[in-house]
């Protein structure tokens, strides 16, 4: 009887040990939410997310696995950010998700701040402003800023009334705005701006509530805006980006090796997505031209005219919003003094 009990005890201990081993090596599944369709041809954010899933699982030896939720399946920008603040998850947020927590983010969207992709990437990867902003976001909201994700290049103007080659061409037009900062920019050119949700933009353009909008070519294709817009002005207004953020407590709870492996995966996924995105810019423009849009490529002089009017108006808007000047000074220093007409 004693032997039988010992045998049962040994078996129980063995099963318990096996359970502990299985628990120790069980994958942690983390949700990753983002905007847009799961379409690798049309959605650069989805390309980043799928690369990230593959690389995180590979680099962490499946200690971390990601579950992807495209098309805002986990809720609105605000809802998903609140989930990220309060639960162990990852989220790719737009300005609408991050700016309510730290509106200093709008400084990074000063129009015509970056000459090209390299300048924008250096600003976010190496700049003092972005590091300080990331620290501020972590302190205020409990989320880590992990990567700046390109979502299709630089913003361009579209409209259905006339070719826009210079600021005066905006006179009297009505534009869909993503947020109040875009309203200020349109008004500086003589147009009016009305905030309209992205999901309502196509119908607003089709019915004439708005004559135009601005987005990178990728989103113009994604939403079929070429069906209701005739002209595309490649003014490189703002760098189009979203932001990979993660729950700070979750990330701090990982050991150094796991955290390093995860961040290696983030950096490589971002590099892959950037290369894929930049390689498709001209083909997307060609697609829109084939669909009937007239493509306007402003000259350097015409771009300077937009910049001379648009930048001071945007800076005035930042000042009116009460954003401390030190944030603007840091960003301008990172971008180079010549980047801004003061």
**pLDDT number for residue 26:** 59
Q: How confident is the model at residue 13 (pLDDT cuts 50, 70, 90)?
A: very low
The per-residue pLDDT for range 81-93, each reduced to its tens digit, is: 999 999 999 999 9
50 pLDDT band, cuts 50/70/90, is very high
**Residue 1 confidence (pLDDT) above 60:** no
Backbone φ/ψ region at 192: left (φ over 0), alpha (ψ -120 to 50), beta? beta
Q: Are the CB atoms for 43 and 222 separated by under 8 Å?
A: yes
Say how many CA atoms lie within 13 Å of 96 toward its Cβ. Answer: 17
| Residue tagged 């501020």 (tokens) | 136
The Cβ of residue 8 has, within 10 Å, a number of other Cβ atoms equal to 10
**292 has a pLDDT exceeding 90:** yes
Residue 23: pLDDT band with limits 50, 70, 90: very low
Asked whether 234 and 296 are in contact (CB, 8 A), the reply is yes
pLDDT at 337 over 70: no
Sheet of strand 294-296, all strands in order from the earlier edge strand to the far edge: 192-195, 174-177, 212-215, 156-159, 231-233, 294-296
Q: Please check the confidence at residue 12 and state whether its pLDDT lies above 80.
A: no
The percent of residues above 90 in pLDDT, for the chain, comes to 82
Question: Can you give the chain as a three-state secondary structure string?
Answer: CHHHHHHHHHHHHHHHHHHHHHHHHCCEEEEEECCCCCCCCCCHHHHHHHHHHHHHHHHCCCCEEEEEECCCCCCCHHHHHHHHHHCCCEEEECHHHHCCCCHHHHHHHCCCCCCCHHHHHHHHHHCHHHHHHHHHHHHHHCEEEEEEEEEEEECEEEECCCCCCCHHHHCCCEEEECCHHHHHHHHHCCCEEEECCHHHHHHHHHHCCCCEEEECHHHHHHCCHHHCCCEEECCCCCEEEEEEEEEHHHHHCCCHHHHHHHHHHHHHHHHHHHHHHHHHHHHHHHHHHHCCCEEECCCHHHHHHHHHHHHHHHHHHHHHCCCCHHHHHHHHHHHCHHHCCC
Gap between the Cα atoms of 330 and 132, Å rounded: 9
pLDDT for res 178: 87
Q: Are 55 and 34 in contact (CB under 8 A)?
A: no
pLDDT-wise least confident of 26-35, 44-53, 96-105, 306-315: 26-35
Radius of gyration of the CA atoms of the chain, in A: 24
pTM of the predicted protein model: 0.86
């Amino acid at each position: 009887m004693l032997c039988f009990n010992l045998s049962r005890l040994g078996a129980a201990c063995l099963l318990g040990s096996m359970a502990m081993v299985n628990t120790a090596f069980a994958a942690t599944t983390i949700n990753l939410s983002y905007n847009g369709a799961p379409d690798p041809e049309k959605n650069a954010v989805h390309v980043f997310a799928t690369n990230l899933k593959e690389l995180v699982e590979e680099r962490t030896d499946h200690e971390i696995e990601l579950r992807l939720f495209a098309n805002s399946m986990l809720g609105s920008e605000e809802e998903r950010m609140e989930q990220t603040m309060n639960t162990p998850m990852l989220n790719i947020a737009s300005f609408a998700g991050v700016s309510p927590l730290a509106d200093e983010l709008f400084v990074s969207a000063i129009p015509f701040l970056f000459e090209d992709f390299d300048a924008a990437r250096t600003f976010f990867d190496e700049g003092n402003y972005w590091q300080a902003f990331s620290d501020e976001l972590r302190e205020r909201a409990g989320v880590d800023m992990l990567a700046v994700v390109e979502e299709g290049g630089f913003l361009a103007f579209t409209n259905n009334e006339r070719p826009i080659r210079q600021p005066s061409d905006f006179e009297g037009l009505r534009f869909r705005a993503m947020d109040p900062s875009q309203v200020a920019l349109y008004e500086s050119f003589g147009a009016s701006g009305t905030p309209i949700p992205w999901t309502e933009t196509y119908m607003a353009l089709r019915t004439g509530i708005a004559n135009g909008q601005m987005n990178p070519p990728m989103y113009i294709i994604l939403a079929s805006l070429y069906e209701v817009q005739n002209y595309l002005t490649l003014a490189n207004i703002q760098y189009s980006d979203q932001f990979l953020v993660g729950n700070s407590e979750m990330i701090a709870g990982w050991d150094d090796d796991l955290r390093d492996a995860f961040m290696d995966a983030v950096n490589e996924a971002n590099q892959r997505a950037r290369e894929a995105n930049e390689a498709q810019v001209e083909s997307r423009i060609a697609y829109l031209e084939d669909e009937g849009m007239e493509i306007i490529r402003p000259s350097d002089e015409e771009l300077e005219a937009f910049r001379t009017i648009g930048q001071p108006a945007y800076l005035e808007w930042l000042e009116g919003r009460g954003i401390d000047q030190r944030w603007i000074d840091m960003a301008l220093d990172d971008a180079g003094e010549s980047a801004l007409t003061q």
